[in-house]
Structure 1
Amino acid sequence: MSEVKRQREESKNNDLTGTMELYYVSKYGLSKMKKRKKDSKSSNSGVRKQAPIATKVINSLRKESKRKVIDIQQIRDAKAEAEELEATIIKQEEMDQLDPLHAVYAYAQNKMSVFVEQLSEMPELAKLVDLYEAAEDEYVPQGPPVSPLTLSYFSCWALFDLNVGLHRESLGSIATEVCREFQADQGLIKLFEIMNTSRMGLYIHAGHLGEYVLLHEFVTGEKLKAKVISGYRGYPGEIWLVRLLPSPVHRAELDYSIVFITPYIIGQQKGRKFYSIGDEQGWHEYFDRTLDKIHAKDRVQAYEKLMKYGLDRHYWNEYIFEAYVNN
């Protein structure tokens, strides 16, 4: 049996270690990710001190695991639920049809969704879950009409950007801390960390390079080569509002970013006509007015905070909803 197959077989019965990430670790060299050293202690030392909700969740899970009186039916129900959730994860044959970076991140997001679903009944997560459900009802209701907030956009916002508390804990960050504490696959945790720190960004389309789109970001000035998983490659001069995920490894063949959501193209309405080429100067003026309102050490950090959290919780949800509804 090959090493990859052996690893897959070993991971089948481990709810915190997936099989697909092991396959792609071998095939695309993701084993070169920097791995976090395991803490030899069995205490909470691996949990960030600034993550109080995650710490409470982990403590509750520990207490539950140490209970001497075990409800057998509860275990059976939990196992059945876990198997049902696992069945919703993207399958290997589906992943084989995808771009390698897209496949890795799609699997990681699906896996995180399962973890979050399993944790969502815990009272420590009640506030976050309530906020998520309220936002879902408000911005992505069961249509018609169809919401301008795409599922790819909303899922990322709900997992990685929606947060509570002074330390801005999200469903994604809490799930990541739980996985880290219970020694989930380190490659998967690395992907979770990248996704948790991801944000929306505003970019100028600067042309094409083969199958890639060249994007220049407002404020940061960063120039990026990206692959669009939705298939839309756009035109130079367009302004894109998107979430990019970088390659998690340093390999020439994977030296690009993934546009992980369907791009929002921000054009201009002139009279009755809509033009896909956006108002670049208008956005520069917007950032000049807005970034001073955000407490940050510099302009770039202010921009990054704005694009991830907005000026309030539903800032970017409202922008997309108002800008695109009925268009």
Structure 2
Amino acid sequence: MGSVADKIARKVATQIRSNVIDLSAFRAGRELAAEAGLDGSRFEDLVEQGYDPAFAFYAQGLTLVSMFAEAISAMPEAKGYAKAMAKAEDEYIPEGPPISPLTASYFNMWAFFDLQFGASRETMGTCILRVAETTGMPGWIAGIVRPMQDSRMGFYVHMGMDGPLVLLKDIVTGRVLRCHSATGYLGEAGQLWYTRLLPPPVPDIGHHVVVTTPYVVLDGTEQRFLDYIGREVVRMTAAGGRKAADAETLLKFGPTANHWNEYIFLAYVNHQPDAIFLAGVPDIRESLPQAQRGRPPHR
């Protein structure tokens, strides 16, 4: 039988061979990728134009992923994905403040790489990787998609600046990473950010990129959120029986599909063009500003 990703990959391969799928969109995506320097070229040109090369790499990569996702989500094998996506879009209206605290940059990464569906718990990213492997697509496609699929949201302590780069400490791993903030928000030392980092795409680039609008937890501290993570992991492990949970699983997938969407919605305090401000801890409902205003939890 195989996984959902295997079934989707076989169907895509068959449709390509029978010319049911028009590869012009994928070829266009490849041309966009080459023009943006995703094959390792033209990074100097992008820098001269004012773009951070790591950000440009992943921004164009998301264009490619969205083209794949549009085709795959229409397949019967991905009906679970389409249903979950529609529900989340209806409930959280991911357009960014003042309409919703869920920005498009946050929601798209969650939808493509964290939202699981099917019995084999695939994501759109794992399906695209399987399609690329099965159909013999160029290796650079996996090179774009895999680091995005491997990424997760996380809590980071602002450790100061290294020139124009923000130093962010992952509270789970303890690693301090040099990061380009794509929105331009630099913040200040001591802040706790909830955001997603992507690694340097090629060896010539020595910094990560903050790919989502930073969520700054105003009352957040490293220990407060380490304590929360510990409590949630215990609950997830108990719910999963013999299968132990860990912090990485919690931060990427949550105990439920919309756990982190709900946290952002209930924790929202305020915003400015380059950052969004939150308060509270996910499992302390009285600490969440929107919960205090009587907003019922989503399911």
Q: Which residue of 1 aligns with 2:9?
A: 58
Q: Which residue of 1 aligns with 2:213?
A: 262
**CA positional deviation for 1:288:** 2.9
Q: Which amino acid aligns with 1:288?
A: G
- Kept after mapping to 2: 8 A contact 1:202/1:242: yes
- Kept after mapping to 1: 8 A contact 2:9/2:127: no
CA distance in 1, matches of 2:10, 2:141: 22
- Kept after mapping to 2: 8 A contact 1:148/1:325: no
- Give percent identity, aligned residues only: 37
**CA positional deviation for 1:199:** 0.3
CA distance in 2, matches of 1:139, 1:210: 37
Q: Which residue of 2 aligns with 1:284?
A: 226
User: 2:68 matched to 1:115?
Assistant: yes
Q: Which residue of 1 aligns with 2:246?
A: 302
Q: Which residue of 2 aligns with 1:34?
A: none
TM-score by length of 1: 0.69
**CA positional deviation for 1:196:** 0.7
TM-score by length of 2: 0.75
- Kept after mapping to 1: 8 A contact 2:57/2:201: no
User: 2:150 matched to 1:208?
Assistant: no
> What secondary structure sits across from 2:194 in the alignment?
strand
Q: Which residue of 2 aligns with 1:156?
A: 109
> What secondary structure sits across from 1:169 in the alignment?
coil
Q: Which residue of 1 aligns with 2:285?
A: none
- Kept after mapping to 2: 8 A contact 1:147/1:325: no
Note closer, same or farther for the CA distance 1:256–1:170 as it changes in structure 2 (3 Å cut).
same
**CA positional deviation for 1:259:** 0.5
User: 2:235 matched to 1:293?
Assistant: yes
Q: Deviations over 1:20-47 (max 9, x none)?
A: xxxxxxxxxxxxxxxxxxxxxxxxxxxx
CA distance in 1, matches of 2:96, 2:226: 35
Q: Which amino acid aligns with 1:102?
A: F
CA distance in 2, matches of 1:228, 1:185: 30
**CA positional deviation for 1:132:** 1.0
Larger radius of gyration, structure 1 or 2? 1
- Kept after mapping to 2: 8 A contact 1:201/1:217: yes
Q: Which residues in structure 2 correspond to 1:23-38 (within 5 Å)?
A: none
User: 2:135 matched to 1:182?
Assistant: yes
CA distance in 2, matches of 1:256, 1:291: 30
CA distance in 2, matches of 1:293, 1:262: 29
Which ranges in structure 1 are unaligned for 5 or more consecutive residues?
1-48, 269-277
**CA positional deviation for 1:316:** 0.4
- Counterpart pick for 1:316 among 240, 256, 260: 260
> What secondary structure sits across from 1:236 in the alignment?
coil
Q: Which residue of 2 aligns with 1:274?
A: none
Q: Which residue of 2 aligns with 1:191?
A: 144
